[in-house]
């Protein structure tokens, strides 16, 4: 824990069942561009939100794909500019919310995402377009972070982009939107939130506020994720999951994530795992190695959660994942021993890997991956 810290959370948060249908009074713009994935467009959720915006011009972009590419970002930005959007709403999982962040900036900053992203020479100075994020899964936390993750289609490299202009103006937390999420997605997105909370907790940049948020989030997730998985209509569990995902998001927005997320990028970009699966598959192993430099703190978390040791916590998390039919071995994703060196090298590229409370180098990461092959 770092006793000297700077805490900033500029996002307004509104949370209530059904609130996504009643956000008109919060929208400052007159021309609203709503970004979602094809599913949320087909099932009418995007349209319902647009229909309740009272007299505003609304345009939809429904082509957000999982692991959004820079090309999709540019396509959406071009359409948003053409309509003169003064409000961008991201509706969906992390992909839609991340794309909304950069598109809301590109409406007035001009150019392509490639001008700003990894290797680009320009910087985004400010954002004049209102940015609203409405999560429909309980996991990403993207609605309260200033991070977007985008994939370069040509190189297949998936990298996070951080910008002060990416903080949403408004996060709309509506548990009703998660009621129809299927069990497999409930499991993977919920475990992503668990990773956010625990990575913020053991993070070298953690502070007393993020620690309190993380402990609260991990406890709520452990108490509710299996209930939401087993019974999608358990509204209490659904509400607890979207709120704990939000709390975990606020926590890691202050610290960033660590090795789990760094290693997840090649697992999604190159082996097709969903983000939550790619993160949680290394989670038990990372809990075990967190004792290398954060033994006392991790023992305190284990005790707070009712476990005798950190090893018991790691095993319980692994058992929980198995009980939700989640993969816990890399070979379940089709990964072979010959792939480990490459995953190690790509996983060590993001700077966040070094926020892990254990030595992260070619040898240690390879050993960790081999242990869960
Ligand atoms: Fe994540």
Distance 56 CA to ligand 1 centre (A): 33
Distance 55 CA to ligand 1 centre (A): 36
pLDDT, tens digit (0-9, with 9 covering 90-100), for 23-70: 999 999 999 999 999 999 999 999 999 999 999 999 999 999 988 999
**Bridge partners, 58 (sequence order):** 32
Q: In what order do the strands lie in the sheet with 57-61?
A: 12-15, 170-173, 130-135, 87-92, 31-35, 57-61
Distance 196 CA to ligand 1 centre (A): 6
Token pair 């009621």 is at which residue? 179
How far apart are alpha carbons 157 and 172 in whole angstroms? 30
Q: Which residues contact 39 (CB under 8 A, 6 or more apart)?
A: none
How far apart are alpha carbons 304 and 302 in whole angstroms? 5
CB atoms within 10 A of CB 57: 15
Distance 257 CA to ligand 1 centre (A): 8
Cβ-count burial 335-355 (b if 16+ within 10 Å, e if not): beeebbeebbebbbebebbeb
Distance 133 CA to ligand 1 centre (A): 16
Helix (H/G/I), strand (E/B), else coil: 287: helix
How far apart are alpha carbons 89 and 293 in whole angstroms? 41
Distance 148 CA to ligand 1 centre (A): 11
How far apart are alpha carbons 98 and 73 in whole angstroms? 9
Distance 53 CA to ligand 1 centre (A): 30
Write down all domains in the chain, each with its CATH number in brackets. Answer: 12-176 (3.40.50.1970), 181-371 (1.20.1090.10)
Residue 263 contacts residue 277 (beta carbons within 8 Å)? no
Bridge-based pairing of strands 158-162 and 147-151 is: antiparallel
Digitized pLDDT (tens) for each residue of the chain, 373 residues in all: 578 999 999 999 999 999 999 999 999 999 999 999 999 999 999 999 999 999 999 999 999 998 899 999 999 999 999 999 999 999 999 999 999 999 999 999 989 999 998 778 899 989 999 999 999 999 999 999 999 999 988 887 878 899 999 999 999 999 999 999 999 999 999 999 999 999 999 999 999 999 999 999 999 999 999 999 999 999 999 999 999 999 999 999 999 999 999 999 999 989 999 999 999 999 999 999 999 999 999 999 999 999 999 999 999 999 999 999 999 999 999 999 999 999 999 999 999 999 999 999 999 999 999 999 9
């Amino acid at each position: 824990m770092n006793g000297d810290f700077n805490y900033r959370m500029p996002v307004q948060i509104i949370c209530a069942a059904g609130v996504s249908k009643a956000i008109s009074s919060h929208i400052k713009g007159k021309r609203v561009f709503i970004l979602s994935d094809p599913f949320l467009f087909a099932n009418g959720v995007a349209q319902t939100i647009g229909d309740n915006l009272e007299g505003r011009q609304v345009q939809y972009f429904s082509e957000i794909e999982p692991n959004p590419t820079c090309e999709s970002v540019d396509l959406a930005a071009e359409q948003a500019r053409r309509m003169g959007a003064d409000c961008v709403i991201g509706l969906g999982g992390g992909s839609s919310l991340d794309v909304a962040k950069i598109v809301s900036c590109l409406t007035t900053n001009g150019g392509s995402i490639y001008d700003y992203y990894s290797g680009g020479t320009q910087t985004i100075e400010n954002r004049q377009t209102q940015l609203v994020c409405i999560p429909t899964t309980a996991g990403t936390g993207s609605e309260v972070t200033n991070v977007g993750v985008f994939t370069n289609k040509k190189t297949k490299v998936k990298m996070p982009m951080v910008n002060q202009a990416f903080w949403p103006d408004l996060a709309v937390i509506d548990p009703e939107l998660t009621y129809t999420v299927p069990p497999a997605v409930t499991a993977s997105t919920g475990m992503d939130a668990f990773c956010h909370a625990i990575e913020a907790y053991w993070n070298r940049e953690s502070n007393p506020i993020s620690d309190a948020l993380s402990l609260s989030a991990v406890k709520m997730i452990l108490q509710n994720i299996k209930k939401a998985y087993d019974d999608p209509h358990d509204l209490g569990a659904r509400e607890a999951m979207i709120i704990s995902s939000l709390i975990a998001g606020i926590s890691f927005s202050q610290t960033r994530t660590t090795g789990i997320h760094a290693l997840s990028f090649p697992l999604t970009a190159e082996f097709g795992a969903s983000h939550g699966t790619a993160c949680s598959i290394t989670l038990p192993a990372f809990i075990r190695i967190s004792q290398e430099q954060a033994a006392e703190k991790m023992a305190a978390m284990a005790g707070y959660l009712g476990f005798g040791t950190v090893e018991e916590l790691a095993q319980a998390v692994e058992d929980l994942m198995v009980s939700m039919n989640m993969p816990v071995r890399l070979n379940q994703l089709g990964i072979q021993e010959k792939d480990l060196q490459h995953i190690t090298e790509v996983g060590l590229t993001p700077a966040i890997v070094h926020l892990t409370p254990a030595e992260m180098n070619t040898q240690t990461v390879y050993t960790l991956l081999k242990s869960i092959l």
